[in-house]
């Protein structure tokens, strides 16, 4: 397996973990208050990151005090900012709206890469983005776009998309010298502290968490290990090596994996959702030039 293929595998795995997080979150949505759930999830992630750091004892790059000017803003954006905006959005908009708006993240990342990194977008990549976006829209809405409603939460979700995209692009623009593991640990830690502090102010996590069932803790532990630790490490590794402009298109796999996990759980997709899945895959292939190569080879046969 080539190094580039290995990086793409890490990126796809991160979207698998995030996609399954929607299914996991659904299990505890009506049981655990949102900020309390986020606080337990990221508190566990913080302990895992630093426990792993202590266990390995591997030498890392020496950070300078000026690196805090990068790590703190990106940690507040990528972990605290995204989750806070996401939770607020769900108070005033539907999950359907939120998921569809989140599909804009790759587009925003690409646009930010153009302005911050000087990246270029060719027609092939633009076509891939459009195809994948149409596919995501079909997967999320089931083709029933009439369900969409304008709400204040839509603006909050747009904010969540923007801060996540800025986090991805910012890691490439302002912290390419920091190893992905080290960068993820610090930004998750910063965001976790902010989430825990807000949960203590807004909700009562110290009273709620001890009363949760074993199942609820197990679900939150899964979200912490796979959705907060491994997903962040894999995603940042891919972004820093491949670039946010190219890797952002893979974010469209998130709702697709959510759909596939639902299928495993016995919730079967309809024809429109299957069509959307095919379009998403076609969009990713078109963006990376694979689809064009396939068409060219077929025309030469």
Name the DSSP letter for residue 30.
T
| pLDDT of res. 82 | 87
For the segment 30-45, what is each residue's pLDDT rounded down to a tens digit?
788 888 888 898 899 9
| pLDDT of res. 1 | 46
pLDDT for residue 135 is more than 50 = yes
Q: Kindly state the average pLDDT of the residues 205-228.
A: 91
Q: Kindly state the average pLDDT of the residues 21-28.
A: 79
Residues 6+ apart with CB under 8 A from 130: 283
Q: Kindly state the average pLDDT of the residues 154-159.
A: 81
Q: Kindly state the average pLDDT of the residues 104-115.
A: 77
| pLDDT of res. 221 | 94
The residue range of the domain holding 164 is: 3-300
Q: Do 189 and 46 meet the contact criterion of CB atoms below 8 Å apart?
A: yes
Mean pLDDT of the chain: 80
Q: Kindly state the average pLDDT of the residues 118-123.
A: 77
| Domains in the chain, number | 1
State percent of the chain over pLDDT 70.
Answer: 85
Q: Which long-range contacts (CB under 8 A, 24 or more apart) does 171-176 make?
A: 171/74, 171/236, 171/239, 171/240, 171/244, 172/113, 172/117, 172/239, 172/240, 172/243, 172/244, 173/116, 173/117, 174/70, 174/74, 175/67, 175/70, 175/71, 175/74, 176/240
Burial of 117 (0-12, 13-18, 19+ CB in 10 A): middle
């Amino acid at each position: 397996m080539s190094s580039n293929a290995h990086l793409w595998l890490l990126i796809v795995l991160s979207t698998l973990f995030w996609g399954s997080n929607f299914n996991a979150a659904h299990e505890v949505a009506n049981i655990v208050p949102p900020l309390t759930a986020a606080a337990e999830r990221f508190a566990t992630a913080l302990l895992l990151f630093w426990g792993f750091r202590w266990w390995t004892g591997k030498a890392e790059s020496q950070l300078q005090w000026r690196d805090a000017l990068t790590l703190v803003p990106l940690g507040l954006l990528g972990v605290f900012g995204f989750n806070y905006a996401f939770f607020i959005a769900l108070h005033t908009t539907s999950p359907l709206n939120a998921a569809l708006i989140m599909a804009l993240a790759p587009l925003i990342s690409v646009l930010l890469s153009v302005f911050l990194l000087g990246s270029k977008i060719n027609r092939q990549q633009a076509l891939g983005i459009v195809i994948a976006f149409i596919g995501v829209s079909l997967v999320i809405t089931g083709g029933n776009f009439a369900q969409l409603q304008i709400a204040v939460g839509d603006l909050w979700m747009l904010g969540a998309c923007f801060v996540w995209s800025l986090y991805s692009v910012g890691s490439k623009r302002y912290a390419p010298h920091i190893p992905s593991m080290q960068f993820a640990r610090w930004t998750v830690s910063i965001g976790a502290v902010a989430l825990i502090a807000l949960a203590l102010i807004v909700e009562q996590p110290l009273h709620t968490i001890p009363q949760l069932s074993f199942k609820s803790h197990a679900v939150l532990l899964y979200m912490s290990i796979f959705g907060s630790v491994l997903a962040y490490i894999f995603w940042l590794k891919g972004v820093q090596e491949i670039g946010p402009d190219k890797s952002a298109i893979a974010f469209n796999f998130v709702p697709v994996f959510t759909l596939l996990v639902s299928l495993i759980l016995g919730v079967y997709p309809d024809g429109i959702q299957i069509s959307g899945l095919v379009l998403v895959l076609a969009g990713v292939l078109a963006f990376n030039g694979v689809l064009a190569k396939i068409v060219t080879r077929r025309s030469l046969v």
